[in-house]
Chain A
Amino acid sequence: MKTKKFKKEIRLSGSGGQGLITAGIILARAAVIDKINVTQTQSYGPESRGGASRADVIISNDEFYYPEAVNFDVLLALTQEACDKFAVDLKDEGILIIDNSIVKNTPKMESEIYEHPFTEIARKKLGSELPTNILSLGFLVKITGVVSEHSLKTAVGNSMKPQFKDMNMKALKLGIKLAEVDIKNNGA
């Protein structure tokens, strides 16, 4: 079925506590369900408690070796600091996704840029900022197609504690819907 080789380097970035490493693990789990090779790494340290935090996910149907993302195909930035720090390493044909309720200075670059106030949407529509990570992950997957939507849903469902499952499934749907609107508007 999949004959063409592909390799996607994805970096999810923001600040500690935004759930980006959790989102990275869930994305990697979805890739496992899709039966494609995946490696997930993270910055692990004091910065994961407040400072800049990142999770890297590399997904490929071919073998690859180096585990950290170097030139990103997709960059999700949920803080200005993360956006400023990592946008330079985004490929020209890459995709930048930012939370414009937090990231006020959008970098000027060749890459495709998607902006939504993910945190605000989560707060207003779900009553909590907690599922911002899943909301933006849903958006990212719908836009990029790095894993199948079905596998992502299964991975989110399997990864959440019962009391948070509902909220996160809603967040996921919301993110996907947001992307569908963008895709339609872009006439893709």
Chain B
Amino acid sequence: MAKNETKTKSVLMQGNEAIARGALAAGVNFFAGYPITPSTEIAEICSVEMPKMGRKFIQMEDEISSMAAIVGASLAGAKSMTATSGPGFSLMAEGMGYAKMVEAPCVVVNVMRGGPSTGLPTKPSQADIMQARWGTHGDAPSITLYPNSVMESYELAIRAVNLAEKYRTCVTLLSDEVLGHMRERIEIPNLKTIKVVDRVKPTIPPEWYKHYPENPKYPMPLASFGEGYRFHVTGLAHDAKGFPTNKASETAVMMERLRNKIRHNIDDIIQIESFMMEDAKIAIFAAGITSRAAKEAVLMARKKGIRVGMLRPLTIWPFPDEAIKKYLCDKKAIIVPELNEGQLSKAMKRVMGAIWSYELRKSKNIIGLNKNNGELINPEEILKVIKEVK
């Protein structure tokens, strides 16, 4: 994203700080949260910086109210965000579904730690990947991003806010304990060069305004409460003005809109990184902090003459089905290292299962490499699997 921009300041920054500063650069002007390890620094930095900028920071009584507060702020026109970790993310699930249903733009950051329950507060995990997709009930859409460096934490925080605004939905930004707490040298771009999506305001007479039109083009004009445009907000299935409805025809329109905002804009939403994939026979599919070990393992294997590459989703949800098919369909083996019991590898099996014939499946392999004890998967461990399948 920031590759060709004028870089200005070289600093040492922590991952969590980069998320906070990225979000502020993207225009977040309302943060409500309940600090939790290992995400606390995000709230901490927002609490210091936002009042100075004339923006609002509220420490709420819990995560349920934090989520409710950012939805309310969003409906009033604010760019809103909260940050949490697993236990808080579970409490926010209901509110996130509400935000997606009423189409209120907002961002929820989840700095993943070991689970289930309160688990391992100070250790990394990637076990909330499926929760980011299915944590809330109903067929709710999910846009979920996951960086792998401090620089990218900054960039994807901006992107998360922009995608939320553009597609008027609740976007999840994942990180993990190691990424959140590690410090790296990053180049802070000139604020003027950062591309920020601001809400488009309606210009039509208020009586013509529909808050939930049938086939919107994104970004669509969006009124906030208090601007003279009348609309209703409810978690119940609703019509174009937002009032509850039981009609199948109106419900279908609503569900289509929720589905199509993702489906019709896949290319705009999905970002992937392909690393040494051109001539690779074996591929590693890894996200977030684990992809750092994967990249190192690729280089180690290449030194031994093994043709390995890595494919990395920066957008976890929607799952990059087409990119996976394109890059991975002819690979002999796909290794999926992750800090959980196989969430990405199951998603991978769904995609590849659809294109590999029964015959092909005998000669090809999807191999999970899983760890959920609070430690990182290191390059040597991935290299070992590479050697086994070579």
Residue of A nearest to B10 (CB): A32
- Residues of A15-69 whose CB lies within 8 A of B: 25, 28-29, 31-32, 35-42, 44-46, 64-68
Pairwise interchain contact A28-B12, C-beta atoms closer than 8 A: yes
> Which of B131-139, B182-190, B252-260 interfaces with chain A?
B182-190
Residue of A nearest to B294 (CB): A65
Pairwise interchain contact B123-A38, C-beta atoms closer than 8 A: no
Which of chain B's residues have a CB closer than 8 A to the CB of A39? 182-184
Pairwise interchain contact B293-A28, C-beta atoms closer than 8 A: no
Q: Residue A183 at the B interface, CB < 8 A? A: no
Pairwise interchain contact A37-B12, C-beta atoms closer than 8 A: no
Number of B residues with CB within 8 Å of any CB on chain A: 24
Chain A interface, >50% SS class: mixed
Which of chain B's residues have a CB closer than 8 A to the CB of A35? 10
Q: Residue A113 at the B interface, CB < 8 A? A: no
Give the distance to chain A from B328, nearest Cβ to Cβ, in Å: 21
B368-390: CB near A (< 8 Å → 1, else 0) gives: 00000000101110000000000
- In angstroms, Cα B122 to Cα A164, docked, is 29
Pairwise interchain contact B296-A32, C-beta atoms closer than 8 A: no
Which of chain A's residues have a CB closer than 8 A to the CB of B292? 65-67
Pairwise interchain contact A65-B295, C-beta atoms closer than 8 A: yes
Pairwise interchain contact A45-B185, C-beta atoms closer than 8 A: no
Pairwise interchain contact B10-A44, C-beta atoms closer than 8 A: no
A68: contacting residue among B121, B185, B378, CB under 8 A = B378
Pairwise interchain contact B12-A38, C-beta atoms closer than 8 A: yes
- In angstroms, Cα B299 to Cα A67, docked, is 15
Q: Residue A109 at the B interface, CB < 8 A? A: no
Pairwise interchain contact A32-B11, C-beta atoms closer than 8 A: yes
Pairwise interchain contact A70-B380, C-beta atoms closer than 8 A: yes
Give the distance to chain B from A61, nearest Cβ to Cβ, in Å: 12
Which of chain B's residues have a CB closer than 8 A to the CB of A28? 12, 183, 185
Pairwise interchain contact A64-B378, C-beta atoms closer than 8 A: no
B132-157: CB near A (< 8 Å → 1, else 0) gives: 00000000000000000000000000
- In angstroms, Cα B127 to Cα A135, docked, is 41
A-B contact pairs, 10 of them (CB 8 A): A32-B12, A35-B10, A38-B185, A41-B182, A42-B181, A44-B122, A44-B177, A45-B121, A45-B123, A65-B299
